Structure 1
Amino acid sequence: MLVPALAGLSILVLAGCGAGPGTAVSGPSASVSASHSGDPGAGTPTASPTDIPVAAAGGPSAAALMVCSMEIQEKIVQILALASAPGNGATWADKLFTCTYALPAGSFVLSVKEAADPDAAHAYFQDVQRSTAGAAPIEGLANLGFPAFQTPTSAVFVKDNFVLTVDAVALPEPLGPHQVTRAAFAYQVATTVLACWSE
């Protein structure tokens, strides 16, 4: 089980989560790719009003857009002690919203699959778990009451009709000044998203 490696990391620390600055995706045929980056040297993400994500008809929901929000950027900056906020780019296709962060060490990907209902989300989650090499269930308090699994480089949770995947496979290990593993990093970012979804 990978979760014990998270000792000393805070899990649910965000308050006031919202669909903050990130990548705007709109329109029923949105599969556009756009980017957003913070002010170099500012230490925290910034964005113009036009960068605010909008849940449009046929586009990703506000919950899915959360993975590209300022709250998640700030969490990444905090965990890795980055000098500036990472840029990100997003895509929306087949009910899958994907946000890719350009970190100094490599790409970091968060995605949300929006299923028709919770049963369909659980079926999708189980298919992904079966097809993922090295998948190990996250159990006990560490799963926060949701079906979840982890690999040495990723964390996957299902909540309601959403399946959240956080993937750090393209990053080196260990990460940041605290020398966290990719699994610990993915898990902490995933639980930050879940904390926002639960508000």
Structure 2
Amino acid sequence: MSIRHGLLALLEQGPRYGSQLRTEFESRTGATWPLNVGQVYTTLSRLERDGMVTQDGKDDAGHALYSISDDGRTELRSWFETPVDRSSPPRDELAIKLAMAVGAPGVDITAVIQSQRSHTLKAMQDYTRLKAQALAEDPADRDGVAWLLVVEQLIFQAEAEARWLDHCETRLVRLAVAAATEPAPATGRGSARTAGPRPPLRR
């Protein structure tokens, strides 16, 4: 998640102070990725160091205001126009867990999958309720529309994860059947196979 670009997008609408940026960021995303004020000010300091924002005096309450610079606007435009890179996907805990569970002694991988599926479907139901609430409110509200986009993305992710878990379970059943019918490997010289490293993921 790019906090710095999110803050730049909010600052493009006018000067803001730290806690105001935090509140607006969470309002826009439905607090799906909550920020603390420390993260906001740390990011603002780095943006100021990089020439993306400047301090713009104080408001009536004495809060230090920040404004986006021309360099910040250029950076923001580039962010909006550049696709999110998928060639180096982030680590996914569930995928790693299932990969490690395959063949792990004492681990019932089917039970792991079923437990995760129940959790994922419950999350999908919760997201769907949130979507219904969002649709019941003013659809023209900017923050409401932004939150609706976020919660729909969470629903699609949960749906895809549930389908993937079904696929994993089917594949494991097929592998178990194949292993049960496969003849025992021959022993002797030259019969052992050494698995080499997998090639890196490429898109």
Which interval holds the TM-score relative to the shorter structure?
Answer: under 0.3
* TM, length-normalised to structure 2: 0.21
Q: Which has the larger radius of gyration?
A: 2
Going by fraction, where is helix more abundant, 1 or 2? 2
Higher relative contact order (CA 8 A, sep 6+): 1
